A and B are shown apart, each in its own frame.
Chain A
Amino acid sequence: MKKTGAEIFVESLKQEGVDVLFGIPGGVVLKIFDVLHQQKDVEVILTRHEQGAAHMAEGYAKATGKAGVCLVTSGPGMTNIVTGLADAFMDSVPLVAFTGQVSTNLIGNDAFQEADNVGISRPCTKHNVLVKDVNDLARTIKEAFYIATTGRPGPVLVDIPKDVSTDKAEFKYPDKVSLRGYNPTIEGNKHQIKQAAEEIMKAKKPVIYVGGGALFSDAADELLEMAELTQIPVTMTLMGLGSFPGTHPLSMGMLGMHGSYWSNMAMHHADLLIAVGARFDDRVTGKLSEFSPVARVVHIDIDPTSIKKNVHAHIPIVGDVRSVLKQLNVLLRSLDGNANERKQQLKPWLGQIEEWKRGHPFKYEQDDKVIKPQYVLEKLFEITKNEGIVATDVGQHQMWAAQYFKGKKPRTFITSGGLGTMGFGFPAALGAQRAYPDKLVMCITSEGSFQMNLQELATAAVYKLPVKIVMLNNGFHGMVRQWQDLFYEGRYASSDLGKIPDFIKLGEAYGIPGWRAEKPAEVESVIREGLKYKGPAILDFQIYPFENCYPMIPAGGPHHEMVLEDPPDLRSGAKKKPIEEKEGELPA
């Protein structure tokens, strides 16, 4: 029996095991939504903005490792997900985005709500396709999921014209995909892996530098085994957080612009870098010409274009991180005659790192009058016992969350790294919560980022997604203000947001309760009250607005020249508005 394109679409999603999609209907996708409405296997989460749908799908994908799915209409529906596509592309998130398109006979006519969906999304997707014939629909969907989730994951867009969703065809879901031009390398080259193992055993000052690739390939166990086997300290990129236990003695935490002093010093002095699923982003490397000046580089990545793009790799290994680490561990075990001897060999290096760590730990000055953001996060980490999932927005709070909220397990720290998308955190948290309804999901955000997608409060309320919105509210685009303090003589050009809106009242309008803390003494009780509440909740922490995030490598600076605290003129408060002035504007 023949099925309509819309029915084929829904059947194909079922075949892919999709249980939820995020989206908003519109003229050309009404047929698809109509079919979705008449079945129960694929739930539709109606978001309030298409950008929210895309980020929710990302949050779902980052938390589960499965492809996230969104479905939006043509024209503005599609252009509204572009930020989500670009974000997913930068952070290698498996995302399948379905967009409606005007009927095939109207394409190119500047029809109502027509946009060149494939053209617009081409530079920010791993692959995209316009389906021109209903007979190609099932195969195209199969290929889209395959491409999105294999190799280096990424977003795939499938554009479905209205007549394709109403036309009929025989439905047969293909068993397998055959794409002549797509064949990611999984197994690493044996010879290269052997060379890497030899270098690793010889190194006196090695560092394992881990990126998001270790998470996508589920290589946490292999990574832990390698680090313990070789006693090599591990540092993670923002995207790699969670791949190695933050509390492990060999963990150096995050590196890069706001990473730990000791990890950056270790990177600078290392004689061997073992880059695992990382891409040497500029926020990580700082000044390229002074980056790890003496280190030899082993670079393991599934994407050949990541290798030797920014930094020369002496031993490049193209392959799936997990598969390569497995092979590498076998060799390391056979080469490692004596673990104790190995420990002795690396003792001076680990001692040196410990010294850097003792000298310049993460620190802030506690205050009994104003709430310090780091204190809120420390308390939250302590009270939640590192359980649950954290999704962050972008800015100072994101960096503090990375520093103070040491994600223990893979896929529990969800953040927008590459694109740095403010407004990502809240919808991503909702997506993660939909994936794990019983887990504690927290969105660590600030008022600047949150306001970029706050309309999704309605989605949280309607679908009863009990995300805890932890807002570090400083009334500023905080990171912008920090840079203005440091590099623009304290002129706060367009970074002062004021104390508007009153987020507790805003929440009330959506039936979402909120708690506010204005003094350090109130922090703990607000956290406890908020966490105790069964539904979504807003925790509004009125933090000290002038706190800056340290340590910091000024953009384009080298690793060993980290700025550790406010320079003296800032510390003296000469450039700062007095805190009382801001307090007067606080909502009642």
Chain B
Amino acid sequence: MEHIISVLVENKFGVLARVAGLFSARGYNIESLSVAPTLDPETSLITIVTVGDDRIVEQIIKQLNKVVEVLKVIDLTEASHLDRETALIKINTNTKPEHRDEAVRICDIFRAKIVDSSPTTYTLEITGDTDKVEALINLLRPLGIKELVRTGRIAIAREAAKVTTRHNSQQPKA
């Protein structure tokens, strides 16, 4: 099953390598990864999407907690949460002129934005959950995608949602 794990870390040299190394050394998968500082410039938040059965995910969370610079680990999948990713998609409008109109129509439907235009391309920006981004990509594919960049997912717990914190994840449930 897919899990979105939010890892709050000290904003120090080498921490990302430590977290990523932990995944590779133990054979865990990283589906996507995003890192940026939080409100407190001394900490960063790493959002990792990973796939594994309960036993593996429990190990991943415990192993992450063991890293000295890791302050907090939350498995957002256990709680109600929002997740988003952004994609920048450059499509080719050179082959058929009607593709330019089609691209604009698709863009409207998905509430994506055209953020750059050239005589032969459009660059679209889309933000949404993975399904929405995937759906847009699939619709644009026949037009000819020249380049595609995705941010990986970020996620946040809904207010008042109960989440697993570092503290109680150290005391495994019976």
Give the A interface residue count (CB, 8 A). 28
Contact yes or no, B59 A305, CB < 8 A: yes
Contact yes or no, B21 A122, CB < 8 A: yes
Contact yes or no, B174 A316, CB < 8 A: yes
Q: Tell me the chain A residues, 73-130 only, with Cβ under 8 Å from chain B.
A: 118-119, 122-123, 126-127, 130
Given contacts A127-B68, A304-B62, contact A119 B172 (CB under 8 A): no
Interface check B160, CB cutoff 8 A: no
Interface check A195, CB cutoff 8 A: yes
Q: Tell me the chain A residues, 113-159 only, with Cβ under 8 Å from chain B.
A: 118-119, 122-123, 126-127, 130, 132, 147
Q: Tell me the chain A residues, 146-183 only, with Cβ under 8 Å from chain B.
A: 147, 179-182
Q: Mark B107-135, 1 if CB is under 8 A from A, else 0.
A: 00000000000000000000000000000
Which residues from chain B contact A147 at a C-beta distance below 8 Å? 68
Contact yes or no, A309 B67, CB < 8 A: no
Docked Cα-Cα span, A303 to B58, in Å, equals: 13
Interface check A307, CB cutoff 8 A: yes
Q: Which of A130, A304, A309, A315 contacts B170 (CB 8 A)?
A: A304
Q: Mark A305-330, 1 if CB is under 8 A from B, else 0.
A: 10111000111101000000000000
Give the B interface residue count (CB, 8 A). 25
Given contacts A130-B13, A181-B69, A304-B62, contact A189 B21 (CB under 8 A): no
A-B pair count, CB < 8 Å, reads 56
Q: Tell me the chain B residues, 1-32 only, with Cβ under 8 Å from chain A.
A: 9-10, 13-14, 17-18, 21, 25
Contact yes or no, A307 B172, CB < 8 A: yes
Q: Which of A123, A192, A308 contacts B58 (CB 8 A)?
A: A308
Report the nearest B residue to A299, measured CB to CB: B172
Interface check B65, CB cutoff 8 A: yes
Contact yes or no, A195 B174, CB < 8 A: yes
Contact yes or no, A181 B59, CB < 8 A: no
Which residues from chain A contact B13 at a C-beta distance below 8 Å? 130, 132
Interface check B158, CB cutoff 8 A: no
Which residues from chain B contact A316 at a C-beta distance below 8 Å? 172, 174
Interface check A185, CB cutoff 8 A: yes
Given contacts A192-B174, A318-B170, contact A181 B68 (CB under 8 A): yes
Contact yes or no, B171 A189, CB < 8 A: yes
Report the nearest B residue to A306, measured CB to CB: B62
Given contacts A123-B21, A305-B59, contact A185 B171 (CB under 8 A): yes
Q: Tell me the chain A residues, 185-215 only, with Cβ under 8 Å from chain B.
A: 185, 189, 192, 195
Q: Which of B59, B71, B172 contacts A180 (CB 8 A)?
A: B71
Instruction: Identify the B interface with A (CB < 8 A).
Output: 9-10, 13-14, 17-18, 21, 25, 55, 58-59, 62-63, 65-71, 169-172, 174
Selected A-B contacts with CB under 8 Å, 13 pairs: A119-B17, A122-B21, A123-B25, A181-B10, A181-B69, A185-B170, A189-B171, A192-B174, A304-B172, A308-B59, A314-B174, A316-B172, A318-B170
Besides A185-B170, A315-B174, A318-B170, 8 other A-B contacts (C-beta < 8 A): A119-B17, A127-B68, A181-B71, A192-B174, A303-B66, A304-B62, A304-B66, A307-B172
